[in-house]
A and B are shown apart, each in its own frame.
Chain A
Amino acid sequence: MKQLTERERMAKRLPTYRIRDFDEVELGFTEDQAIREASRDIRFCKASCMLGCPVGVNIPEMLRLVAEGNYEEAYRRLIKKSPFPAITGRVCPQERQCEMFCVLAKAGKPISIGAIERFVGDWALANNVKEEATIKPNGLKVAVVGSGPASIVVASDLARLGYSIDMFEESHMAGGVLVYGIPEFRLPKEIVRKEVHRLKELGVNIRLGVPVGTAITIGELAREYDAVFLGVGAGHPKFLNVPGENLLNVYTANEFLTRANLMKGYRFPEYDTPLHVGKRVAVIGAGNTAMDSVRTAKRLGAEEAIVVYRRSRQEIPARAEEVLNAEEEGIKFEFLLEPIELLSNDKRTVSGIKLMKMKLIESSNCERKAVVPTGDTTKLDVDTVITAVGFNPNPSLKIGTNGLDTDDMGRIKVDGQGRTSLKGVYAGGDIVTGEGTVIEAMGWGRRASTAINEDLSVR
């Protein structure tokens, strides 16, 4: 059998340099690399990779067009499924989505689909590829609530079809987690800004500073608009619920990342929002949020930045590439430990964590191994704690609204196409699924925009 050629790897900035600033870590493929990597594709395989992509990108088509150097056509076809490739190319957990299903994955050398997608997206942004179609207004109005990935897709899909779109976002910047959560060094905000700018070019009216629920209710929106889409995410942080949680220098990851990224606290005092980063920082949890927090802390001067996780290396839920990047940057990982108390020497500021040692056991009714306490405890001395233990949906959206069905976790119930229990009201993204991924949220946005268009067309 023919020897498989090696995967092309994106160049990365050296850890010693990159931990000193917030510039992007991974540099993307050069044109040569993109063509070489795309040419590694096995034509006429069954393209099982597509099964792993939540929005069904036609991956072999993209690879063929890139291999031929036809980037513009690659882009135009790609965005039919994945509308913001510069973003998804960077943040999709490819190792669990498209790339996991590539036939070459078994040999450990799947096509670097994400990196190629990123290349195509960046190329289109750099070359300012414009919309082809002219938009014919159809006289219908849709309210889109939130401005994260799900909402962005709904707004851009429907605007292209001629709907008049008002987007309501409570924050001062559109983009959802893409701007307040995921840091600059992983997803430059300039990219999100450009994509949001494109929405405006499509005629989407973005209204910032409007918390739906208290400023205007879902019911009011439903009366004023032909349809309403709720893409408000699940951004209400869970607490550890252990003693000492309100000591100084204990942050939720969302507060830490919001201060650092959205409010640009990393440039205090040029920007006004302060934040504290000590010398020894522990982050509780090992998801994307934890990884982003711990790497941000490192960049803000923590000498030791430690991830404390209750399971083991294998179960880490964060995007694999970022775990690797974190390890390269000197982030420490402590496994099988669960905080039971946050300690303080002066009763004011956190000074350590009391931890329960955990163990994994086989469990019959669950795919994952169960994790249980061993009864032994240990202590970790730290001066800053960041908790990244998950999110709930924010209940304030539902203020003043009756009849919107949610499940026991507060997630909005929808049918397969994003229709909620209220007529004319649709939902998608994390508010429906709980914490998911960017591309899953976009997929929900696409389903909802399709349903809205169908429902309003037959009316």
Chain B
Amino acid sequence: MFKVNEILMKRQLASGVKEIIIFAPMVSRAAKAGQFITIMTDEKGERVPMTLVDWSATEGWIKIVISEVGLTTLKLGSKEVGETLYYLAGPFGNPVSELNSSTIILVGGGVGVPAIYPIARSLSRNNTVISIIGYKNANSILYEREIGEVSDEVIIATDDGSKGQKGFTSDALRELLDSGRKADAVWVIGPAMMMKACSEVTRPYAIKTFASLNSITVCGSGMCGACRVSVGGKTKYTCMDGPEFDAHEVNWDELILRLGAYKEEEKRALGRYILRSAN
């Protein structure tokens, strides 16, 4: 029998991106597309949110995909199969909105691609799903097959054109809409800048657009307010009222500003960690 929070499998998907499968029966039973968990690697660690990418209630596991961008995600990525995480809680947040017999465009950028996978899977049951997935270059492509399995159509974009269309996901999205393709709704997940750009693309078309926000969180459960964002001029909690919001109503500049609040500390903590691991 596995221990709760034990790492069952780990796989490198691209440079600095890892897929991790964790034994978490309680979470796997309740998980729904669009929700997330929070994790602490160790007693002294930060509590960070990660999107639920896949799960099996019968086998009791959940899957996350992490991008190693700082101290916590590096520590997480260095955990080996058989080790257990100090803390894992969830699911948190609202499940993805339900739609029926619509045409939906899902846009994922980088590690945002795995995050759109459960949404595509859930929405593709009753809708036509077109997925636009974007990466830096051909080497950073991940989750292409998985997205293909749950989409009616997949468009790949790379910044340098080394695979698929050349350009950002927002460019691909604009081309698609300009070409006359009709869509009832658009979902975007990825870096805040990318989500902002995509929401500007859909605005003139007045297509309902959802973004899953990645604001800094501390608790994930509505008790701290660290994750607050302005949506439609009102202060909202990403973890409780979101993470999915109307992208046209989000104050993106404020979100981007708040995401950078701890840049100095993050650098310091990371430097210290790398030094330590080297010794």
Contacts and interface: CB of A to CB of B under 8 A. Distances in A.
B235 interface: yes
A66 to B, nearest CB: 38
A255 B218 CA distance: 7
A211 B49 CA distance: 14
Nearest to B272: A269
Given A214-B90, A215-B30, A236-B223, A246 B230 contact: yes
Interface string B222-245: 111110111000010000100000
B181 interface: no
A258 B219 contact: yes
A176 B251 CA distance: 33
Given A263-B47, A396-B240, A273 B224 contact: no
A276 B265 CA distance: 9
Interface in A259-300: 259, 263-264, 268-274, 276
A273 B72 CA distance: 10
A93 to B, nearest CB: 23
A394 B223 contact: yes
B27 interface: yes
Contact of B257 (A208, A209, A248): A248
Given A246-B254, A259-B218, A272 B225 contact: no
A246 B219 contact: no
A251 B218 CA distance: 12
Interface string B194-232: 000000000000000000000000110111111011100
B166 interface: no
Interface stretch (B6-14, B81-89, B172-180): B81-89
A272 B224 contact: no
B27 A263 contact: no
A272 B262 contact: no
Contact of A236 (B47, B222, B262): B222
Contacts of B235: 239, 241, 245-246
Interface of A is mostly: loop
Contact of A252 (B224, B262, B265, B269): B224
Contacts of A245: 235
B159 interface: no
Interface in A164-180: 170-172, 180
Contacts of A208: 87, 89
A172 B218 contact: no
Interface residues of A, number: 40
A264 B44 contact: yes
A254 B223 contact: yes
A245 B235 CA distance: 9
A254 B224 contact: yes
A135 interface: no
A379 interface: no
Contacts of A259: 218
B222 A248 contact: no
Contact of B223 (A214, A258, A270, A272): A258
26 contacts: A172-B40, A208-B89, A214-B90, A215-B89, A216-B29, A236-B222, A237-B223, A239-B235, A241-B235, A246-B230, A246-B235, A251-B225, A254-B224, A258-B218, A258-B224, A259-B218, A263-B46, A263-B218, A268-B265, A273-B46, A273-B47, A274-B266, A274-B269, A276-B262, A395-B240, A396-B221
Given A170-B89, A273-B46, 19 more contacts: A171-B89, A172-B86, A172-B89, A209-B87, A210-B89, A235-B223, A239-B235, A246-B228, A246-B229, A246-B235, A248-B261, A252-B224, A252-B225, A254-B223, A255-B218, A272-B72, A394-B223, A395-B240, A396-B222
